[in-house]
Copies of this chain bind each other. A is one copy, B any other.
Amino acid sequence: MSQRNTGVTVQAVNAQACPVREVLDRVSGKWSVQILVAAAHGPIRFTELERGIEGISRRMLTLTLRNLERDGLVTRTVHPTVPPKVEYELTPVARELHETLQRLTDWAERNRVYIAESRAAYDVEHDKEQV
């Protein structure tokens, strides 16, 4: 979406008309799914997420959590203690999503080798004439 004039409109139209894009927008972003997976077992604290998800920055963890919260996929519970304690938990809707994502993961695991081999074959086939 790098257009200045029509970008917003097109995006809105696509999102409304196309459930495919709608779900992808929800699940895209580098960290959304991993957060959903990490939080699937039950309430989890900010720092636990941070340590459980390899490579995520504080910033992105916060941002992604905010978006998930906005979409009604996680709840954010602040315990007014000191030091502060904030727990995140999946909503029922997110739990459904997590189940269907599981199928995708299964697919990936079943076909990981096939894909790797396809890539390798494709690369040999197409690289050998350049350099």
| CB-based contact A55/B104 at 8 Å | no
Chain A positions 42 through 58: 1 when the CB is less than 8 Å from some CB of chain B, otherwise 0: 00000000000011000
Which residues on B sit within 8 Å (CB–CB) of A108? 19-20, 22-23, 26
Q: How large is the interface on A (under 10, 10 to 19, 20 to 34, 35 or more residues)?
A: 35 or more
User: In the docked arrangement, what's the CA distance between A47 and B21, Å?
Assistant: 21
Binding site for B on A (CB under 8 A): 10, 14, 18-24, 26-28, 33-34, 37, 54-55, 69-73, 93, 96-97, 100-101, 103-112, 114-115, 117-119, 122-123
In the A-B complex, list the 6 residue pairs whose CB atoms are closest, starting with the nearest.
Answer: A72-B118, A23-B108, A19-B108, A70-B122, A100-B103, A22-B108
